[in-house]
Amino acid sequence: MELGCGAWLEWWPEVFASDERPELARLLTELPLRDDTFTLFGRTVAVPRQVAWLGDPGCRYRYSGQTYEPAAWTPGLAHLRTELARRTGLPWNAVLANYYRDGRDSVGWHADDERELGPDADDVAIGSYSVGAARRFVMRHRTTGERRAWQLGQGSLLVMRGRTQRLWRHALPKTAAPIGPRLNLSFRVVRTERQPGTER
């Protein structure tokens, strides 16, 4: 789906057959999920979801003022990475897991525009794979205010490509509707040669 100005999306409503999909309960037993905080205007705020950062050695990642060292790939996530790389043709080497326990858990407007993300500066690939309850995912253009929205359901994959992170922001809003848990696996390509302390 073309978004214009070098930004586009790739969308698989069901990237796997139903018998190939990883189970939420199994993934949750593997993941080193944790409660986290971030600093906002000098105040410590609880992150409204649980998170984990996993990846290849050296794929450290800095966002919200914190630097995350990658935990090792779990068996389930390693298999999922291989399958998603085969389908998308992208060399995923890290994943940010976000666990939304119910509709009160959310993520606000942001862009995944950290400079270490790639495959290159003009093509930042963010692969959002959903397990569990469907949630509303929204995008908003930074200058025009144009909005787009999707229901990201069980087994769906939305890949943001090109200049999407430069031109758009995205969010997963809270909802008062009764809703079950959802695990979002946000696959990344981290350019490790750009990491602090790895320059030669």
Whether residue 14 contacts residue 169, with contact meaning beta carbons closer than 8 Å, is answered with no
Q: What pLDDT sits at residue 7?
A: 98
pLDDT average per 10 residues of sequence, the chain (200 residues): 97 91 94 88 87 96 84 96 97 98 97 95 97 98 97 97 98 97 98 52
Phi-psi region of 13 (alpha: psi -120 to 50; beta: other; left: phi over 0): alpha
- The token duo for 61 is 């990642």
Are 123 and 129 in contact by the 8 Å Cβ rule? The answer is: no
Which amino acid belongs to residue 149?
A: A
- 197: how many CB neighbours lie within 10 A of its CB? 6
In the CATH scheme, what is the homologous superfamily, with its name and number, of domain 2-194?
Alpha-ketoglutarate-dependent dioxygenase AlkB-like (2.60.120.590)
DSSP H stretches of helix in the chain: 24-30, 75-88, 164-167
Domain boundaries of the chain, sorted by first residue = 2-194
Confidence at residue 193, expressed as pLDDT on a 0 to 100 scale: 67
Tell me what pLDDT residue 39 has: 76
- Determine the Cα–Cα distance for residues 179 and 106; give it in Å rounded to an integer: 12
Contact 78, 185 (CB under 8 A): no
